Amino acid sequence: MFQLIFINVGVFFSLFFACLLGVLATGGYTQSYSIYFLSASEQLLMLDTHSRIAHPVMRLPLVMFDVAPSQTLLLLTNYQLFYADAQGDNRTPLAEVYAGDYVTALAFAPDSTQMVFAVSGRSGVTSVYWLPQPTDRYERLASYSGLVRDLAWSPDGKMVAVGVNREGVYLVDIATHESRRLAVRARNPVWSPNGEQLLFLLPTNVDGTDFYVHHLTTGDTDNLTRQGNIHHEFPAWSPDGSHIAYVSLQYQQPDIELLALSDLEMQNLTQHPASDSRPVWSPDGGKIAFISDRHNQRGIYIMNADGSQIEFLTSDVSRKNLMLVWR
């Protein structure tokens, strides 16, 4: 009798684990991550991609934010830049925003401790500052005559790519504070996951933009697209380094497209009459989130990396600050 019970229990657990493996193999199980965004009231929300439930993280109205890999927060109000833990508590003031000045960009480093932010003053000069740790004093890295729109950390945390309006893309060495320009009029710098290439956009002579990749090891720069009058924006490099998701204005309304770096083939993922924008990769590279105004309301959507299974997540999205961070 006891032997029979033992056999039945063994069969039960064998079937249970077989079913579990089957679910995993067929994609029935979805890894849960969090998408951070600003709500219609400019409050920071965290949306769990598995439960599809959004939770408030910071009830103060924000202008800008970033989320570190450790999920600690870098937050900007109208008056102050501060650091907070993953729950939005234990806030540490980092810098005051004075009258006539405003923060134009901010970013956490991959190590979740270093931070950079850019401040534009009434003189028109924008300075980039660096904080080694949240409790340290910030240091000036570089200053530029144009507005700094983009700050992108290299994966090893040793350099920052700076996109300056009308001036181009610069590389700043954190250790030496040396700033050197890579390309005039370039914008939207994005690092490859291995840190060996830097992608950016350059305007063409016929009112379009092309993707260029700068190879840090050789110093060479390649044009990837050569599309002439077609305008692209908001590039996002996939975690495995194989694809670039971006917004294309080739069609009547902006669509999310995918560029395969193996053969430079382009694929339209959304093909919708609505305006689709701001693609962001999931940490595992299997999904892409984006903002769209389809169904007569602006909201966050999610789809597989091949454009299949587009799902609506939420409509409670800021109309001024279209920022998505996926952790």
Closest CA to 300 of 120, 16, 40, 15: 40
Rounded mean pLDDT of 124-153? 94
pLDDT of residue 105: 96
pLDDT of residue 256: 97
List pLDDT tens digits, range 53-78.
999 999 999 999 999 999 999 999 98
Q: Residue 114: is its pLDDT beyond 90?
A: yes
Residue % of the chain over a pLDDT of 70: 90
pLDDT of residue 76: 95
pLDDT of residue 11: 44
Mean pLDDT of the chain: 89
pLDDT of residue 46: 96
Name the pTM for this structure. Answer: 0.87
The residue that leads in pLDDT, 205 or 183, is: 183
Q: In this structure, how many other beta carbons lie within 10 angstroms of the beta carbon of residue 229?
A: 12
Rounded mean pLDDT of 129-139? 92
Strand ranges (E), 40-158:
44-48, 53-58, 64-67, 73-76, 80-84, 92-96, 102-108, 115-120, 126-131, 139-144, 148-153
Q: Residue 12: is its pLDDT beyond 50?
A: no
pLDDT of residue 323: 94
The residue that leads in pLDDT, 281 or 17, is: 281
Using 50, 70 and 90 to split pLDDT, how confident is the model at 31? low
Rounded mean pLDDT of 18-28? 42
Q: Residue 79: is its pLDDT beyond 90?
A: no
pLDDT of residue 297: 85
Using 50, 70 and 90 to split pLDDT, how confident is the model at 207? confident
pLDDT of residue 229: 82
